[in-house]
Amino acid sequence: MAPTASCTQNEPEAQAVWLGGLHTRLQLVLQGVSHNAVARTTGYNSETVRRYRTKTEPSARFVKRICEEYGVTPTWLLTGEGEQTTQAQCEAIANGLDFAAVLTLLGQRLNELQAKLDGCTTAQTDPEPQMMHRLNGAARPAQGVTR
């Protein structure tokens, strides 16, 4: 059975949508990485990398190299479905973390946020001094104006 006209007309549109999603995911994975750096890790020249990142469909070999070098799953990169990172990438991230340092930084940040919250709740629970100050200022006549 031959494809209908409406089916064939939608194919280029569907291809464009898919390619746009792929480019978006490539940009996400390669955020902050220069074309030259990607070229070195994948074995492609930087102009080809630039085109693959922005406007043309990358080769299967390029997609494979990105997945290997940057620890993303091919299914996620190509379709946006499933897990983004491979198990090996997750383990590498976890192994590289100094959990004691992370916990110390988190504790410091929590203390900073708690201090800000304490300041907000104090201002909210005791508005009388601020209101009295405003009322006293509004009740004073302006200088140089007589009644």
68 token code pair: 């290997």
Q: pLDDT digit string (tens) for 97-130?
A: 666 666 766 777 787 788 778 777 655 556 666 6
- Half-sphere CA count of 127, side-chain side, radius 13 A: 4
Domain ranges of the chain: 5-86, 99-139
- For 5-86, CATH gives 1.10.260.40
Q: What is the predicted pLDDT for the residue at 37?
A: 94
33: Cβ contacts below 8 Å, ≥ 6 apart? none
Give yes or no for a contact between 83 and 73, defined as CB atoms under 8 angstroms apart: yes
Q: pLDDT digit string (tens) for 55-73?
A: 899 999 999 999 888 888 8
